[in-house]
Amino acid sequence: MTADQHDRTRHRRRISVQRQVLAAGAALAIAASLAVTGGTTDLTFGLYSVGVTILALSAALVHPDSSFPVLVIALVVVRWMVSDGSPTSPATIAIAAGLTAFHTIVALLAGLPPNATVPRDVLVRWGLRWLVVTGATALWWVVLVVMTRRDATASSLATIAALTALVVGLVAVRRVVTAPTEGRQP
């Protein structure tokens, strides 16, 4: 074994298994989002966009505290817009959930050293936050779909009422999710 191979092996050992699993989850979220975006009429663009996204994803997982995660999200959104881009498509929610999962995982990884192990309660809290954001996105998407199908785009009152209900619901859920548990300092 050469010295370079030895250094790479030692580096791999210093990355916690949990971090590797989280990184795999982030990669899976992006792969699912790319799959849901579907194909494009231009095969060259389709292959190029997937290839560039995979390269950016690799860089984002190695350097989660860089601008690479933003690039990954932007590339998936551009691919979605080129292939379908309909805000009322059910694929929109699947893509949003995948991008939110990716963002949540990468944000968590960005604040940790490579060999860190995250306590279970922290993982649960981040998972709950992902659920709240994804749920709020799904609710807002349902409002959008209903308003589009009813041709209620000109109804400012309905839009304001729906947005207000959504914000009140989110504040209530946030208070429950972020409430300190008994016996633990906030």
Indicate the burial class of 79 (C-beta count within 10 angstroms; 0-12, 13-18, 19 or more): buried
**Among 58, 84, 118, which residue terminates a domain?**
118
Helix (H) or strand (E) holding 5: helix 3-14
- Kindly give the confidence (pLDDT) of every residue in the chain, 186 residues in length, as a single tens digit, with 9 standing for 90 and above: 676 665 555 555 578 888 899 999 999 998 888 888 776 566 677 778 888 989 999 999 999 999 999 999 999 988 888 876 677 788 888 999 999 999 999 999 999 888 888 899 999 989 988 998 898 888 888 877 887 777 655 566 667 777 788 778 877 877 777 766 655 544
Domain span at 22: 1-118
Kindly state whether residues 143 and 101 are assigned to the same domain. Answer: no
Residues 86 and 128 in one domain: no
Q: Kindly state the tokens that stand for 20.
A: 């590797």
CB count, 10 Å around CB of 5? 9
Q: Are residues 70 and 133 in the same domain?
A: no
Is residue 139 located within the same domain as residue 57? Answer: no
Domain total in the chain:
2
Both 29 and 80 in one domain: the answer is yes
Its pTM stands at 0.74
